[in-house]
Amino acid sequence: MAKKTKSNEIKRQLDDKTHISLAGEVVDKQITDTIEENFMPYAMSIILSRAIPAIDGFKPSQRKILYTMYKIGLLNSGRVKSTNIVGEVMKLNPHGDAAIYDAMVRLSRGYEALLHPYVDSKGSFGKAYSKNIVCAASRYTEAKLDKICTELFSDIDKDAVDMVDNYDNTKKEPVLLPVTFPSILVNPNIGIAAGMASAVCSFNLEEICNATVLLLKNPHADIYDALPAPDFSGGGILLYDRAAIEEIYTNGRGRIKVRARYEFDKANNCIEVKEIPPTTTVEDIIDKVIEKVKDGKFREINDIRDETDIKGLKIAIDVKRGTDPDKLMSRLYASTPLESAFNANFNILVNGYPRVMGVTEILNEWIAFRMECIRRRTSFDLKRAKDRLHLLRGLEKILLDIDKAISIIRNTDEESEVVPNLMIGFRIDKTQAEYVAEIKLRHLNKEYILKRLQDIEKLEAAIKDFEEILENPGRIKRIISFELKEVVKKYAKPRKTEISYSYDTEVEEEEEEVPDYPVTLFFTKEGYFKKVTPQSLRMSNAHKFKDGDYIAQTVETTNSKEILFFTNQCQVYKTRADAFDDTKISVMGDFVAAKLEMDEGELPVYMTVTNKDYKGFMMFFFENGKVAKVPLESYKTLTNRKKLIKAYSDKSPLVDILYIPEDTEVVLVSSSGRHLLVNTAVINPKTTKDTAGVNVISLSHKKGHRLLKARLYSEGEFAKPYRFRSKNLPAAGALLSADDTSEQVTF
Q: How many other CB atoms sit within 10 Å of the CB of residue 671?
A: 17
Q: How far apart are CA 279 and CA 259, in angstroms?
A: 11
Q: How far apart are CA 393 and CA 255, in angstroms?
A: 63
Q: Please list the residues that pair with 317 across neighbouring strands.
A: 271, 304
Q: How far apart are CA 481 and CA 495, in angstroms?
A: 22
- DSSP 3-state assignment of 468? helix
For residues 513, 515, 516, 522, the Cα torsion angle rounded to the nearest 10 degrees is -110
- DSSP 3-state assignment of 360? helix
Q: How far apart are CA 492 and CA 116, in angstroms?
A: 9
Cα–Cα distances in angstroms (integers) from residue 27 to residues 24, 38, 41, 274, 439, in the given order:
9, 16, 22, 62, 74
Q: How far apart are CA 524 and CA 190, in angstroms?
A: 55
For residue 108, the 8-state DSSP code is B
Q: How far apart are CA 354 and CA 726, in angstroms?
A: 73
Question: Does the annotation count 528 as an active-site position?
Answer: no
3-state percent helix, strand, coil for the chain, nearest multiple of 5: 35, 20, 40
Radius of gyration of the chain (CA): 42
Active-site entry in 111, 118, 140, 167 = 140
Pairing of strands 707-712, 665-670: antiparallel
Closest by alpha carbon to 119, among 111, 107, 127, 128?
Answer: 107
CB 623 within 8 A of CB 686: no
Q: How far apart are CA 189 and CA 380, in angstroms?
A: 32
The b/e string for 181-215 (b: 16+ C-beta within 10 A; e otherwise) is bbbbbbbbbbbebeebebbbbbbbbbbbbbbbbbb
For residue 612, the 8-state DSSP code is T
Closest by alpha carbon to 511, among 327, 738, 265?
Answer: 327
**Nearest 5 degrees, angle CA 701-CA 703-CA 704?**
60
Pairing of strands 142-145, 237-239: unpaired
368 by Cβ neighbours in 10 Å (0-12 / 13-18 / 19+) ranks as middle
Dihedral sign from CA coordinates of 393, 394, 397, 403: negative
CB 434 within 8 A of CB 419: yes
Closest by alpha carbon to 232, among 212, 264, 257, 198?
Answer: 257
Cis, bond preceding 730 (omega within 30 deg of 0): yes
Residue 716 CB contacts under 8 Å (≥ 6 apart), including other chains: 741
DSSP conformation letters of 379-418: HHHHHHHHHHHHHHHHHHHHHT-HHHHHHHHHT-SSGGGH
Residue 441 CB contacts under 8 Å (≥ 6 apart), including other chains: none
- Helix axis angle for 455-471 and 473-491, nearest 10°, is 100
CB 274 within 8 A of CB 312: yes
Q: Which residues are catalytic?
A: 140
